[in-house]
Amino acid sequence: MHPLPEGIITILTAFAPLFSDRVWQHAQVLLIGALLAPGKRTVTSVLCVMGLSKAKHFATYHRVLNRAVWSTRQGSRILLGLLLCAFCPTGWVVLGVDETIERRKGKKIAQIGCYRDAARSTKNVVIRCFGLKWVCMMLLVPVPWSSRIWALPFLTVLCDKDKEGTRRHKSHVDWARGMMCQVRRWLPHRRIVLVADGGFAAVSLAAACQKYKTTFVSRLRWDAVLHHPPDPQPPGKSGRKPKKGKRQRRLRTWAARCDTPWTKHTIGWYGGKKKEMLIFSRTALWYRTGSDPVPIRYVIVRDIAGKRNDEVFFCTNLHIKPAQIVAWFVMRWSVEVTFQEARAHLGIETQRQWSDLAIARTTPCLLALFSLVTLIIKRLYPRGKLPIETTAWYHKTKPTFADCLLIVRRHLGQAKFLNNSNQKPDFVQLPNEIFNLLCLYLLPRVA
């Protein structure tokens, strides 16, 4: 393998202790090939783009994923440390968690299931698909070259199924709770905020976040059961102390009343813009049968222009301002953008492994490539002045992930083939190896 650029070596060296020396050499080939390969991200396509299509020991690269001894969880911890040092050295650590479906088919895939396709389903029509369910946790941070928040994946787990019935079933909420506990053990002294969609709004997850001193922000159901704090127990009265008081007024009632004390706030909105909204906030005990009530602060948000429906959010930290709660939840949309970018540019859902261990490793690694590309760009362009690829019909003002990936590919190509060329040449003479690769993968093929 050719020497890598210094900006990339400094980042990849942090992951070297995860592998043995022999496995690390092959893992680097797979990593660089996954960045350079267009289309499918199979091992064979990675080897072809790296010029190893004639290598007789190709099975060795498959063994990196399906046999070699290394831990994706330890890799997640290293990646989180690199992201925090680069983008969030101090202050709040805002994490977004969400689930996604990797559409896969095959009788040999043990963990495959039938799930609701959130991207294609509507309120009236539910569409289901076969695939693998993943729960991904991402770091939500601003980047110098964009006006919006970016979601950088670092921890992804597979919601596996126990078809033999020997283990208790774990829902996506249970997996998110375990991931939150793991991150808290990694970062015992940082202030953590966990932001999730309404699908993760569970009393059990909110109680776990309070136990581990993590602020939880999510969407709240309109029919949520909210109570006042319990009254002080009279002295001398025996029996258990009450855990909740009288039931509060329903959220729909607060939103419909004409005397609700709304306050106007300018909050950060989608796309990095500012928007004036009406906000009403109160504290309450969120209760569900079978669980202890959890103290929360709920926030009802109303659009002054009337273009959006009223929405309600909650936070387990009672001291956070309502405008900050809404701003944190708005940051969650970047998670959906990352999922879409990973499918479009990193080959998610194009893998073809059948081994359980390879399946459990490949998708988390491909999602982690999104964060690695962002780290490389941050090191190459610390001030955020990236070149933007535009066309006559599409003028971009801010770089996207496609621009970042293109810059990394050019950086790798120049380091491999153009080390002896000028910095800004008018004419580049390509070696025969790279010319054949361009003809094979970039030019249209004849059937």
pLDDT in tens, 52-65: 888 889 999 999 99
**Cβ atoms < 10 Å from Cβ of 43:** 24
Residue 347 vs residues 86, 113, 158, 357: alpha-carbon distances, Å: 26, 21, 18, 19
Measured between alpha carbons, how far is residue 193 from residues 163, 197, 206, 212 in Å? 34, 13, 12, 11
pLDDT in tens, 237-261: 777 888 888 999 999 999 999 999 9
Question: Strands 215-219 and 192-196, how do they pair?
Answer: parallel
Alpha carbon separation from 74 to 52, 79, 415 (Å, rounded): 29, 9, 29
State the Cα–Cα distance between residues 212 and 276, nearest whole angstrom: 34
What pLDDT digit, counting tens, does each position of 111-164 carry?
888 888 887 888 788 989 899 999 999 999 999 999 889 999 999 999 877 666
The secondary element (H helix, E strand) that includes residue 254 is: helix 251-256
Percent of the chain with pLDDT over 70: 90
Predicted confidence band of residue 436 (pLDDT cuts 50, 70, 90):
low
Secondary structure class of 294 (helix, strand, coil): strand
What's the confidence (pLDDT) of residue 280?
95
Query: Confidence class of residue 15 from pLDDT cuts 50, 70 and 90?
Result: very high
Model confidence pLDDT, tens digit, residues 318-338 = 999 999 999 999 999 999 999
Residues 410-433 have a mean pLDDT of: 63
Neighbour count for residue 90 (Cβ, 10 Å): 8
- In the chain, the amino acid numbered 198 is G
- Which of these ranges, 84-88, 192-196, 337-341, 416-420, has the smallest mean pLDDT? 416-420
**Integer Cα distance of 153 and 146 in angstroms:** 17
Beta bridge partners of 141: 150
Among 73-87, 112-126, 419-433, whose mean pLDDT is lowest? 419-433
Whether the Cβ atoms of residue 285 and residue 294 lie closer than 8 Å to each other: yes
Residue 437: pLDDT above 90? no
> How does pLDDT run across 207-242, given as a tens digit for each residue?
999 999 999 999 999 999 999 999 887 787 777 888
pLDDT value at residue 311? 93
For residues 373-397, average pLDDT: 88
As a whole number, mean pLDDT of residues 422-445 equals 60
Task: Specify the range with the lowest mean pLDDT, choosing from 66-75, 110-119, 255-264, 286-295.
Answer: 110-119
Report phi then psi at 286, rounded to 5.
-85, 120
What pLDDT is attached to residue 397? 85
Q: What is the mean pLDDT of residues 90-110?
A: 91
Query: Residue 435: what pLDDT?
Result: 64
- What are the CA-CA distances from residue 358 to residues 63, 243, 352, 365 (Å)? 9, 48, 10, 10
Give the contacts of 380 (CB within 8 A, at least 6 positions apart).
7, 407, 411
Region 370-387: what's the mean pLDDT?
Answer: 92
DSSP secondary structure string for all residues of 104-134: ---TT-TT-EEEE-TTT--SS---EEEEEEE
What is residue 246's predicted lDDT score, i.e. its pLDDT?
A: 92
Assigned token pair, 391: 């066309």
Q: Where are the beta strands (DSSP E) in 18-148?
A: 93-103, 113-116, 128-142
| pTM exceeds 0.85 | yes
Q: Where are the domains of the chain?
A: 6-71+357-417
Q: Compute CA 73 distance to the chain's CA centroid, rounded to the nearest angstrom.
A: 15
In contact, 256 and 234? CB cutoff 8 Å: no
Cα separation, 114 vs 126, whole angstroms: 12
pLDDT confidence of residue 111: 85
- 430 pLDDT higher than 80: no
> Measuring CA to CA, which residue among 104, 100, 92 is closest to residue 117?
100
pLDDT of 445: 45
User: Where is mean pLDDT largest: 181-195, 228-242, 374-388?
Assistant: 181-195
Q: State yes or no: pLDDT of 174 exceeds 60.
A: yes
d(Cα 179, Cα 97) in Å, to the nearest integer?
9
State how far the Cα of 402 lies from the Cα of 386, in Å rounded to an integer.
12
Model pLDDT, residue 53: 86
pLDDT band at 416 (very low <50, low <70, confident <90, very high): low
- The pairs formed by 228-235 with CB atoms below 8 angstroms and a separation of 24 or more are 228/284, 228/285, 229/285, 229/295
Q: DSSP character for 442?
A: T
Q: Using CA atoms, how far apart are residues 88 and 141, in angstroms rounded to an integer?
A: 7
- Asked if pLDDT for residue 269 goes beyond 70, the answer is yes
3-state SS class at 233: coil
Q: Report the mean per-residue pLDDT for the chain.
A: 88
**49-59 exposure pattern, b = at least 16 Cβ within 10 A, e = fewer:** bbbbeeeeeee
Residue 2 has pLDDT above 80, yes or no: no
Judged against a pLDDT cut of 60, whether residue 442 lies above it is answered with no
